[in-house]
Amino acid sequence: MNSRFSMLQKRDATPESRQEQAPIQHRPVVIPTTRKPAPPKPEVGPAKPTKVLDARMRIHRMLIEEINLVALERLPRDEMRRQVHDFVSEKARGERLAVNVAELDALVDDIVDEMVGLGPLEPLLKDPTINDILINGHRSCFVERHGKLEQVHIPFKDEAHLIRIINKIVAAVGRRVDESQPMVDARMLDGSRFNAAIRPVGVDGPLVSIRKFSKNKLGLHKLVEFGAVTQNMAEVLAAAVHARKTTIISGGTGTGKTTMLNALSAFIPEDERLITIEDAAELQLQQPHVARMETRPANIEGHGELKQRDLVKNALRMRPDRVILGECRGEEAFDMLQAMNTGHEGSMATIHANTPRDAISRLEQMLGMTGMPMT
């Protein structure tokens, strides 16, 4: 029997010598569990007093009313901060806010972030130790550091404040989110992946997920150093990509599918034309000739939607050597497989599946979405 199943050997089924049965005594049932006790909640930063938050919003409104923001935003950030600092100092005295120098500087930073940045999200976006930002309503925020989730304080004044920041993010990339279209998937200006769902989809308030853009491009040699792949595996994968073998990378959420695709792309010859297709552009291919395409949702009238399948079909008319599909998850699987079998060998894609066998099953399911017979 395979050693993998050695712990599943049947126990000796030989009956013991029969003895007179004692009366059954009912005892409480204890269910064994391997669950570890919950770790103590991480310390969260102290919440800012409502008075300070209200004052910050009032001072921000005064700034909008009394200062030429267009001219102010054209200034270098340091000069803009100096002028905002002078303005806030004067207004803070008028508001009789009991703040020290450090608190005043923090208030100025908050207002500058609110004006030209993303408000309370800015410190989290600038923190290099944070990989993911997860917001469950304006009162609850978690971040992922080094693979572990921890709760942090984030000073949104109310739900409207959080929605204003969401709208600022999606408007910058030509997307929208409202009651008629309460979910949005977008790419932030720094390349981070952004997803939001507002009411009525978000039952307890807006839900936000941000996967931060990694500025460090991990090569295959780094993945070997980290133990993600062995040296032999890396050599086989590199040779397969260079030899134009069609490659599908499978894995669960957050397992590094995109990281692996980026690393393998380094072994594509530089004289090839690559076309990438994604819902939110995040691939960092390492070739000079890359044409990137991104899907688009329907407009407010319900027109103008561009799906991945539309882009795959169009990509085949753009003289690609390889088509790179950021994530295959629907009807576009049919067109992608057609491309892989009609002169575009070496094309690559990622797919959500836990094992290679599951990946094949998922592809079959996606082909079924097109209505194509599977026999």
pLDDT at 45: 45
What does each of the 375 residues of the chain score in pLDDT, given as a tens digit?
Answer: 444 434 334 444 444 444 455 555 545 544 444 444 444 444 444 445 556 667 767 777 777 677 776 677 678 878 888 888 888 888 878 777 777 788 788 878 877 877 778 888 999 999 999 999 999 999 999 999 988 999 998 888 889 989 999 999 998 888 889 888 899 988 888 888 899 999 999 999 999 999 997 777 788 999 999 898 999 999 999 999 999 999 999 998 878 898 999 999 999 999 999 999 998 788 888 788 999 999 888 877 778 889 888 998 899 999 999 999 988 888 888 888 888 887 889 999 999 999 989 999 998 888 888 776 665
pLDDT at 39: 47
Asked, for residue 303, whether it belongs to a domain, the answer is yes
Instruction: Give the span between the Cα atoms of 205 and 47, in whole angstroms.
Output: 19
Asked, for residue 33, whether it belongs to a domain, the answer is no
pLDDT at 236: 95
DSSP, res 95: T
pLDDT at 267: 94
User: Which structural domain range is residue 67 located in?
Assistant: 50-116
Same domain? 198 vs 296: no
Same domain? 266 vs 334: yes
Asked, for residue 243, whether it belongs to a domain, the answer is yes
Same domain? 170 vs 238: no
pLDDT at 279: 85
- Whats the size of the chain, residue-wise? 375
Instruction: Give the span between the Cα atoms of 133 and 196, in whole angstroms.
Output: 12
pTM above 0.75, yes or no: no
Domain end position, chosen among 211, 229, 257: 211
Q: Enumerate helices (H) and strands (E) in the chain, giving the number of each.
A: 12, 11
Asked, for residue 39, whether it belongs to a domain, the answer is no
Same domain? 144 vs 266: no
Domain end position, chosen among 211, 239, 270: 211
Range 192-231 burial, b when 16+ CB lie within 10 A, else e: bbbebbbeeebeebbbbebbbebeeebebeebbeeebbee
Same domain? 346 vs 308: yes
User: In the 3-class helix/strand/coil scheme, how is 189-248 assigned residue by residue?
Assistant: CCCCEEEEECCCCCCCCCEEEEECCCCCCCCHHHHHHCCCCCHHHHHHHHHHHHCCCCEE
CA-CA-CA-CA torsion for 287, 244, 329, 173, nearest 10 degrees?
A: 10
Here the CATH number for the domain that contains residue 300 is 3.40.50.300
Asked, for residue 199, whether it belongs to a domain, the answer is yes
Same domain? 102 vs 143: no
Angle between helices 332-340 and 308-315 (to 10 degrees): 20
Domain end position, chosen among 84, 116, 148: 116
Asked, for residue 343, whether it belongs to a domain, the answer is yes
Asked, for residue 66, whether it belongs to a domain, the answer is yes
Instruction: List the structure tokens of 314.
Output: 């169009």
Same domain? 359 vs 231: yes
Here the CATH number for the domain that contains residue 128 is 3.30.450.90
The set of residues, in sequence order, having a beta carbon less than 8 Å from that of 231 and lying 6+ positions away, is 224
148 pairs with which residues across the strands?
Answer: 145
The set of residues, in sequence order, having a beta carbon less than 8 Å from that of 14 and lying 6+ positions away, is none
Asked, for residue 335, whether it belongs to a domain, the answer is yes
Instruction: List the structure tokens of 77.
Output: 């950030």
Instruction: List the structure tokens of 349.
Output: 């894609």
Same domain? 276 vs 331: yes
Sequential DSSP letters for 149-167: EEEE-----SHHHHHHHHH
Same domain? 321 vs 226: yes
pLDDT at 44: 43
Per the structure, how many domains does the chain have? 3
Same domain? 100 vs 155: no
Same domain? 244 vs 353: yes
Instruction: List the structure tokens of 146.
Output: 């080094």
Asked whether the CA dihedral 247, 252, 256, 259 is positive or negative, the reply is: positive
Same domain? 94 vs 181: no
